Amino acid sequence: MVKAIVEINDEANRILNIVKAKESLRDKSDALNLVITLYGQEILEPELKPEFINELLSAQKEKTIKVKKFSEHYN
């Protein structure tokens, strides 16, 4: 675990207090971790996650088939 001293403005402090109370967290540190985790999931979902990139790369390596009439092949 990393310890950090951070300066936050009054609005950020109020938001952390609300998150702390709403989620029944022990302290603001837990609230900050939750907010950062949720924000990280939102901006990293799913297009930038390494697992998603690896899945796409492996799909590109798969063998392809030629289909002349899609409806006959997949109905």
**How many distinct structural domains can be found in the chain?**
1
pLDDT higher for 62 or 72?
62
For residues 29 and 53, give the distance between their C-alpha atoms in angstroms, rounded to a whole number: 32
Summary count for the chain: helices (H), strands (E):
4, 0
DSSP state of 26: S
**Lowest-pLDDT range of 17-21, 26-30, 40-44, 59-63:** 40-44
Q: What is the pLDDT of residue 48?
A: 66
Domain of residue 70 covers 10-74
Rounded to an integer, what is the distance from CA 28 to the centroid of its chain? 21
Position 25 in a domain: yes
The mean per-residue pLDDT over the stretch 44-65 comes to 81
The closest of 65, 66, 46 to 56, measured between CA atoms, is 46
Check if the beta carbon of residue 35 is closer than 8 Å to that of residue 16. Answer: yes
